[in-house]
Structure 1
Amino acid sequence: MSWTGDHEYLRACAWNEAQEDIRRELNRRRIAGVSGRDYRRARERVEQAYADQIHERFQHKHAGPYANECFVFYKSANLLPPALVEMAPNCQQAFLDAPLHNYLIISRHQPAIDKAEKRGFSSFEALEATPRGQQEIVDLLLKRIYPERCPVKSEPPKSSCVWCWSVAAWALLLLAIAAVFVLWEGNRQKILGYFGWVDASVVAEVRAQRDQLMEDYRELSQQRLLEDATRGADDTALASSAEQEEQLARIASAIEELGGRIPEHWGYRPCIDSAAVRASSAPVYLYDITPSVNGLIVSEPRGQFAILAEERLHPEFPDSLPASGSYSVADFQATMAPLQQSGSAMDCAFYVLLRDGELDDATMYREQRSAVEAVFQIYRPR
């Protein structure tokens, strides 16, 4: 596939590439205790700062158009396609590392240049994501061709009399407070709400609504995973999936309105974060799991993912972990269910490593993976 885009398109690509850095920075603030309205304001400031940097980077670049192209390879065996070897020898290892029966995408583009420079293509790069299904690869390619636009650059603050505005604001605040306490009870609570002041009964009601929404979110997510493992590609199943996606989006939006924390990638914050004992902030992985024809092979993480002694002292580390071994889907869910229930009670989730393995049966793979995702949040190491 090939397409062209101007420097606004390249801004959009840079904005989408910056999302992971934005998420990491916001996670650090969340861990530091920033939440609610303060968190939303912090998110707006961080996103605007990144958008301003991107606009500055492309401010003096040639408008374009710039060419972009990508090639898609389907991995049905570990034999390197001759076309890949000829076009992108540096992407051979990425093809070998990709799981069987998955797609590998390589892409290149013409980078933004100053007006006096000569255009040229970058070298081919392999995308980290390796979609398994046709719909996944279509969605991924559409996001690359039509990326989310970069927000507009913020305007510099206008000069004003800060002292005058401060006095006026305090005067208005005092008048508003005085008005609250001379109005009848029915309107008083509404006005207090504008200032973020509510009584205990209102707080309890909002918390109850949020808890119910979170429970609905979890149940619908599990239902979606089970249907993914059993449904076919008929129109009725696809329509049902689309309805579930819309319902999940509505619930997530409602949780956000209540000041709750939206789970990222259908998940929750890690119950055990290793930031205190490792150089990088990452969840502690309880197991290393591989789907196989003999069931789910569960073992203890090793190497860089091995659980450290200090991490076992974390107050939310499970008192006892089910033993490693081979589990059927039913046995796995029954054995690991207490860990999922414990995480839900703490409003967090335990994480595991999920390997691709050598399982060629797509139905069996989806069934085993769905069983893991119904209990844990997963990370697929390369």
Structure 2
Amino acid sequence: MPGKTYDAVIVGAGVIGTAVGYYLTKRGIRDVLILDKGYVSCGATGRCGAGVRQQWGLEMNCRLAKMSVDMFAGLSDELGEDIEFEQSGYLVLAYDDDTVELYRKNLKLQNSLGIPARLVTPAEAREIVPVLNIEGLVAATHCQTDGHANPFKTNFAYAHAAVREGCELHTFETVTAIETDVKGVRAVATDKGRYETRTVVNCAGGHAAEVGKLAGLKLDCFPERHQILVTEPYERLFDPMVISFVHHLYCQQVVHGAFIMGLGMPEAPGFNDDSGWEFIEAMARAVTSLLPILAGVRVIRQWAGLYTKTPDAQPILGEHPDLPGFYNAVGFSGHGFMIAPATASLTAEAIACGCTPELIAPLDAKRFERGDLVLEPNVV
């Protein structure tokens, strides 16, 4: 209803935005409006690989990931819709001794936090993924409780639950201005109306910096294309997500038999979401060097989505220091889906309690200006 006052207005109806809306309602804040200039899952969520891993090198990331995995495990029951979460594991490959030593260090951290990852030999890696080419492989790490979910079903499950709990969801409505006064956020204007609120949550993905600009803020994040493909369904070959930082790729066979795979390629910042032959040729070369049996599998579809990158490839979370009432949950740099439950829940906690949870305090929007980058070694 144009002109209505809301406790919070969320910009973006991807998995982060709809989850923030849901978790706000669980904290008793039900007068919430979720806005999207497109539709639910039209952005990064609907184009992501939807892997969920806990194998990180920073304690903060390990904690966020483990918290999310624990939440994912019960999410289908909690939200009342099957999100197809499968704990089929992640196998992360290492091709030199330095990487193995880094992984050993990471494993100590992960194990201390209750993440059951382990180091495996090339032979053991091949037992886990029988079709894996282990030539040149020195070792790998494996965590069986990592997994994968359906991004569309997860996003819609959060959206449906948020609406059931009292949120309003407006799609195809574009934010045109964010009004402020001496107290902070005052209202949100769109192409269809104006809504008074003292709380705005920026969950706009690749358009996060644009939303920040509407509020007079400069956010250090930018969109960058990432390409993915999906194959025809195939006989069951392996369960875990296979990751190689050397090959810049990930590949997983999902529950319906298809393979989903992505490849990191040099990209200029921008909103280009085309996917072309250069990608599919590079993807084919890389994945068949690791998994030769896939050479004969037919590609059904390829597409591109936008990572929202930051200078340290870590998200921007919490209330902006320069504008009371303006919260960010953006800049996930390709890892938003896997930590969506935790970050959305903590964002809702920050709004409801009026203070930033300690776990996400280092991820404030001003850290880049201070030079306090949060660097993570395990990024693909």
TM range (shorter): under 0.3
Higher strand residue share: 2
Higher helix residue share: 1
**Whose Rg is larger?**
1
Superposition TM-score, scaled by structure 2 size: 0.23
